[in-house]
Amino acid sequence: MSSAHNKVGRTCIIQADADDRAALDRFCPDLAEWPRSWQGEDSDVIVGQNIVEFLKPFLHELLRHQLADKTLRRHRNHIWMLGGEAIRRRHDDPELSKQPVETLIFNLIEEEGGPLIWPRITESEQNSFDTTCRKLYRFLAHGKVA
């Protein structure tokens, strides 16, 4: 996969070529359905689509690192979970619903991990989720996953 990288603010935008898009389609065949899976009300779909677009460069970057299939699936599932948590929190906190998705996602994660997931997941599942969120944080803050 070849990609052109552009640094924009805190995020690294990856311009995907056809091979990248095909790889992402294989990696996340249901990616277009994620916004509907997070939907609590009709307006969530547009926000969910924006979240997916914001997170696609990170998903491309994970693929570029040629991680094991199991590791890729775990990260993919955690990114899906993070998107759903972002939508849920927008409903719980009206101030969050005013934030652009870039700010919302970046503020949900930190160097140490991600938000506590509700309903609760096990400690080992939360630790695994936190690993993905740390990678996403490094990617958004510094443009690298490792």
Q: What is the pLDDT of residue 90?
A: 96
Q: What is the pLDDT of residue 4?
A: 38
Q: What is the pLDDT of residue 33?
A: 98
Tens digit of pLDDT for each residue in 10-66? 444 444 566 788 999 999 999 999 999 999 999 999 999 999 999 999 999 999 998
Model confidence at 122: pLDDT above 70: yes
**What angle, rounded to 10 degrees, do the helices at 123-142 and 69-92 form?**
90
pTM to 2 decimals? 0.84
The torsion angles phi and psi of 42, rounded to 5 degrees, stand at: -55, -40
Model confidence at 112: pLDDT above 80: yes
Tens digit of pLDDT for each residue in 126-145? 999 999 999 999 999 998 77
Beta bridge partner(s), residue 113: 110
Residue identified by tokens 């095909």 is 22
Question: Across residues 93-121, what is the average pLDDT?
Answer: 94
Question: Across residues 95-121, what is the average pLDDT?
Answer: 94
